[in-house]
Amino acid sequence: MRILFVTPVIPTETDGRRPFNFLRYLAKRHQVDVLALQLPVQTMDDTVRIAKLGANAKAFRPGGSISAFFSIFRGEPLRVGWCRSSQLRIALRDFVRNHTVDVIHFDRMRMGQYAIDLPGVPKLIDFTDSMALYLERSTPYRIRFLDRIIDGYDLATIPRYETKILEHVNLGLLCSVVDLARFQQDHPSAPIEIIQNGVNTEEFLPRTRGNVALPRCIITGSLFYFPNIDAIRYYKEEIWPRVRMRLGGIKTEIIGARPTPEISNLNDKMGLIVKANVKRMADHLYQEDVYVCPLRVGAGVRNKLLEAMAAGMAVVTTVLGCEGLGVRHNEEVIIAENPAQFAEAIVQLVNNPEFRAKLGMQARQYVEQNHHLDIIGEKLEQAYARIIEEGPVQPPVKNENQGMK
């Protein structure tokens, strides 16, 4: 089949990891084209990487902050306004006019705006997670007043905009039952299917550093993303001091892309080491170390957690950190809900290499059985096949006296 992806970023392992993994699977089996918006930090090298997967990609500049501001006057979420692009809209219409496309895959709610004026093609939108759930959880931890205002505005406008998008697509996707439950509060009859996140288990393999005197603690993630910034603050202020009191000389490595100044300034302080923009995350995940994920904010399923588990690492996380996964406490991960529990779990794993290895092995098995790319990719193919058979959605009849729903 011929599949057209429309995404808010050029998918990479850092930005748009879920669609990147989808493309990794689909491009080997189907003809795939990508029309994407390009983040300011991205370059055309990122489209070359898509080409290496076997897909064609073109990138366009988003409307950005000015366009986001004007979305207020349209009653749209700021995230939608930021992603407005007349160039992308024209390119999308031209592509559909000049090529036979079996299905269009829109990535994220913010890109659903482009589904509205494209009749005649089966379409799905991957919401991935519940944006309402994410915003509700973020607000209590926001430090800046402006961030609270922005989140509050989007939280008020997103459900109505999601309703509008759903009128123009065959199917919506989410990554977990938790996100589905929150999504259904606003859209109880929406056609939604759950497709979990996948991980490349051939890239993220168990590897060893050999005999080490003391394991390290490892934190990974996008270091510009608010939930990860908050998790690192929480770890540094409330968990890490407890660990250091009991394990002298232990280090924590914070590994990820584009750290904020706040994160960068932690480097070489209090036993914390910041490794920014590493080329290949899999090269930094070792079985001897302890993976920590002290998330207090977020929605969806954590790709970084799946990668660490695929690498055979023992994981300590919060309930929210492993939310949406079928993992069990002391079987695939250790779940800790306060700083004392978190520190105790880390100390236990550092001092008990047999238990650490067992936990990592069982985590790897869980990922192979539930999140292998072949399993996730086949589910996505099946969803495509169903909506192709169903045919294009008929656009709702416009009522001149009716405003936007």
| pLDDT at residue 397 tops 80 | no
pLDDT of residue 211: 77
pLDDT of residue 42: 85
Give yes or no for a contact between 272 and 266, defined as CB atoms under 8 angstroms apart.
Answer: yes
Please enumerate in sequence order all residues whose Cβ is within 8 A of that of 401, keeping only pairs 6 or more positions apart, or say none.
none
| pLDDT at residue 395 tops 80 | no
Q: Does domain 217-370 have CATH number 3.40.50.2000?
A: yes
| 77-to-1, 37, 204, 280 alpha-carbon distances in Å | 33, 17, 36, 34
Tens of pLDDT, residues 166-206: 999 999 999 999 999 999 999 999 999 999 999 999 999 99
Nearest to 84 by CA among 97, 96, 58, 66: 66
| pLDDT at residue 405 tops 50 | no
| pLDDT at residue 403 tops 50 | no
Distance of CA 25 to the CA centre of its chain: 17
Burial category of 40 from C-beta neighbours within 10 Å (exposed 0-12, middle 13-18, buried 19 and up): exposed
Tens of pLDDT, residues 340-375: 999 999 999 999 999 999 999 999 999 999 999 999
Sheet containing strand 2-7, strands side by side: 56-60, 31-37, 2-7, 103-107, 123-128, 171-174, 192-194
Burial category of 94 from C-beta neighbours within 10 Å (exposed 0-12, middle 13-18, buried 19 and up): exposed
| 370-to-19, 126, 186, 400, 404 alpha-carbon distances in Å | 18, 19, 29, 48, 40
pTM: 0.91
| pLDDT at residue 156 tops 50 | yes
pLDDT of residue 399: 61
Tens of pLDDT, residues 89-137: 999 999 999 999 999 999 999 999 999 988 899 999 999 999 999 999 8
The whole-number average pLDDT for the span 21-39 is: 96
Three-state DSSP at 41 gives coil
Domain borders along the chain are 2-198+372-390, 217-370
Residue 180: phi, psi to the nearest 5? Answer: -65, -45
The reply to whether domains 2-198+372-390 and 217-370 share a CATH topology is yes
The whole-number average pLDDT for the span 200-217 is: 90
| pLDDT at residue 144 tops 90 | no
First to last CA, the chain: 34
Q: Taking CA 255 as the corner, what is the angle to CA 254 and CA 261, rounded to the nearest 5 degrees?
A: 70
The whole-number average pLDDT for the span 73-89 is: 95
Please enumerate in sequence order all residues whose Cβ is within 8 A of that of 87, keeping only pairs 6 or more positions apart, or say none.
60, 61
Residue the block writes with tokens 């969803």: 383
pLDDT of residue 180: 96
Tens of pLDDT, residues 241-293: 999 999 989 999 999 999 999 999 999 999 999 999 998 999 999 999 999 99
Q: How far apart are CA 396 and CA 116, in angstroms?
A: 10
Q: How far apart are CA 12 and CA 195, in angstroms?
A: 19
- The secondary element (H helix, E strand) that includes residue 219 is strand 217-220
Q: How far apart are CA 174 and CA 184, in angstroms?
A: 11
The whole-number average pLDDT for the span 40-64 is: 91
- The secondary element (H helix, E strand) that includes residue 65 is helix 64-74
Q: Which superfamily does 2-198+372-390 belong to?
A: Glycogen Phosphorylase B; (3.40.50.2000)
Three-state DSSP at 223 gives coil
DSSP 199: B
Please enumerate in sequence order all residues whose Cβ is within 8 A of that of 146, keeping only pairs 6 or more positions apart, or say none.
none
pLDDT of residue 401: 53
| pLDDT at residue 75 tops 70 | yes
Q: How far apart are CA 10 and CA 38, in angstroms?
A: 6
Q: How far apart are CA 354 and CA 364, in angstroms?
A: 15
Q: Could you list the beta-strand ranges (E) of 40-158.
A: 56-60, 103-107, 123-128
